[in-house]
Amino acid sequence: MGLAGSKTRLRGHLVDFSDKLYLAPLTTVGNLPFRRICKRYGADITCGEMAVVTNLLQGQQSEWALLKRHESEDVFGVQLCGGFPDSFTRCAQVICEKMNVDFIDINCGCPIDLIFNKGEGSALMGRQQKFEQIIRSMRAVMDVPLTVKIRTGIQDNKNIAHTLVPHLRDWGVAMTTATEVHQAGGLGLYP
């Protein structure tokens, strides 16, 4: 669901995300074979599984495998998770220089305690100044659009997405997608 916009420039041409079937990144499920099946059944846009920026920068091959693209994925993005502007920015720079991707997505939806407790994933939604620094620094080194996946909130009965979304485009985000409507993370349960 495009919240902050539905059209964005991808490597020199305009791509219209409206009325397109977008297969959102799905950790442990959205692997390359699954994405190939989804393409066969009509997915227009695909995104790799969440990859942790520090693991990528350390050269972990298993993490880099999450960013692998199949030739059938004509519009393909990668999703990154982290908590610091410098590591996000360096990782985005390397990906733009070395890989063939159409967009990079920041994961602000992961509620897993291991991620959340480090200030990553959905915890970034509660760290607005840090989140803005990450977005602005990444945009400065990227030649592809930046998208963000968020959830409605990080605490039960306290939705905050509506306060964050208006800022995202100003910071340089091309499109925002929303995940489950329930809250989860360090302050809730992961369904």
Catalytic residues: 110
Whether 67 contacts 99, CB under 8 Å: yes
DSSP code, position 110: -
Q: 178 with 161: CB under 8 angstroms?
A: yes
Q: How far is CA 140 from CA 37, 107, 145, 172, 173, in A?
A: 35, 19, 11, 9, 12
Q: Any idea what the Cα angle at residue 16 is, between residues 10 and 22, rounded to 5°?
A: 90
Q: Which of 181, 144, 153 lies closest to 8 in space, CA to CA? A: 144
Q: Which tokens is 108 given?
A: 């602000």
CA–CA distance, 81 with 67 (Å, rounded to integer): 13
Q: How many angstroms separate the CA atoms of 25 and 176, rounded?
A: 13
- Per residue in 142-172, is it b (16+ CB within 10 Å) or e — as a string? bebbbbbbbbbbbeeeeebbeebbeebeebb
